[in-house]
Amino acid sequence: MEKNVGSTDKIIRWIIGLLLISMIFWVHSAWRWVGLIGFIPILTGSINYCPLYRVVGISTAKKPDQPQQGEKK
């Protein structure tokens, strides 16, 4: 499983996840259970992997430095 979630993306996912989870405690209607969706961005941010990014072909993770043409690593 190759990492495809970068550090800024990880922080944003955690913030969104925590805000969604807080809905469970602050919203007093049937919509409060939508807050459980907040566990998904927290999980994907924690393991630095997003299956949806893989399907779409996106990666926000830094790639290791690759040697220039003719240069040895």
pLDDT at 19 over 80: yes
Q: What is the pLDDT of residue 69?
A: 64
Long-range contacts of 45-50 (CB under 8 A, 24+ apart): 45/5, 45/9, 45/10, 45/11, 45/13, 45/14, 45/17, 47/1, 48/3, 48/4, 48/5, 48/10, 49/1, 49/2, 49/3, 49/4, 49/5, 50/4, 50/5
pLDDT tens string 32-72: 999 999 999 999 999 999 999 999 999 999 887 756 566 56
Q: What is the pLDDT of residue 29?
A: 92
User: pTM of this prediction?
Assistant: 0.79
